[in-house]
Amino acid sequence: MTDILEALNWRYATKKFDPNKKIEAETWSKIEEIMRLSPSSFGLQPWKFVVVTDPKTKEELLPLSWDQPQITDCSHLVVMCRRTDVDETLINHYIESVAKTRNQELSELNHYKEMILGFADRLSEEAIDQWASKQVYIALGQTIAACSLLQIDTCPMEGFSPEGYDKILGLQEKNLASVLLLPCGYRSDEDPYAKASKVRFKKEEVILEGQQVD
């Protein structure tokens, strides 16, 4: 599918995946790249995406996800995590990566680095966690939209126990905390939601022209 509006009308929050259809490796590798290319504030990428395909692990996660069947039926379950180590080390790592990628001297990036460090310093620990979570939501939006162009079904999910997931997947030890789930795969022919009309407010209710705002 190449038309973005056609793709976005085709996609829906998939309630029932076909458990027998798996995403092939080449397509999955594109989806990983789509997640990696997500934009973030300062470009800091305070996230990691944990991919679960092991059936036993998915079974364990099911009761921690309000028993929503997408967890076990999907092909690839992505647990979208925020980093819990948004600190000077991460900021230095990012600045070094900018310098290397763009052939710049580290000294040229000093001002930028100080700006990010200043931003992080001014925020409480809780505010940094919230900020990192917001970045994860951006990755979610980009991935859902891009998957629709690949005709891969997804279901964004907040209905799960982040603490339970963190425990089972050992995320704390990896300096991660789960924020969102994104099961990916192929819709089941039996999912009634696939044929349901999309419910959205009218354009004039959500898009305001400049003149109306004044």
Return residues touching ligand FMN (CB under 6 A). 12-13, 15, 68, 155-159, 198
* CB of 120 or CB of 182, closer to ligand FMN: 182
Residue with tokens 């990010």: 116
Q: How far is the CB of 212 from ligand FMN (least distance, A)?
A: 26
Determine contact, residues 140/29, Cβ cutoff 8 Å.
no
* CB of 6 or CB of 114, closer to ligand FMN: 6
How far apart CA 28 and CA 25 sit, in angstroms, is 5
* CB of 41 or CB of 68, closer to ligand FMN: 68
* CB of 43 or CB of 159, closer to ligand FMN: 159
C-beta neighbour count of 113 within 10 angstroms: 19
* CB of 57 or CB of 68, closer to ligand FMN: 68
How far apart CA 66 and CA 86 sit, in angstroms, is 30
Q: Closest residue (Cβ) to ligand FMN?
A: 159
Q: How far is the CB of 105 from ligand FMN (least distance, A)?
A: 41
Q: How far is the CB of 198 from ligand FMN (least distance, A)?
A: 5
How far apart CA 34 and CA 153 sit, in angstroms, is 15
Q: How far is the CB of 116 from ligand FMN (least distance, A)?
A: 27
Q: How far is the CB of 13 from ligand FMN (least distance, A)?
A: 3
Determine contact, residues 186/75, Cβ cutoff 8 Å.
yes
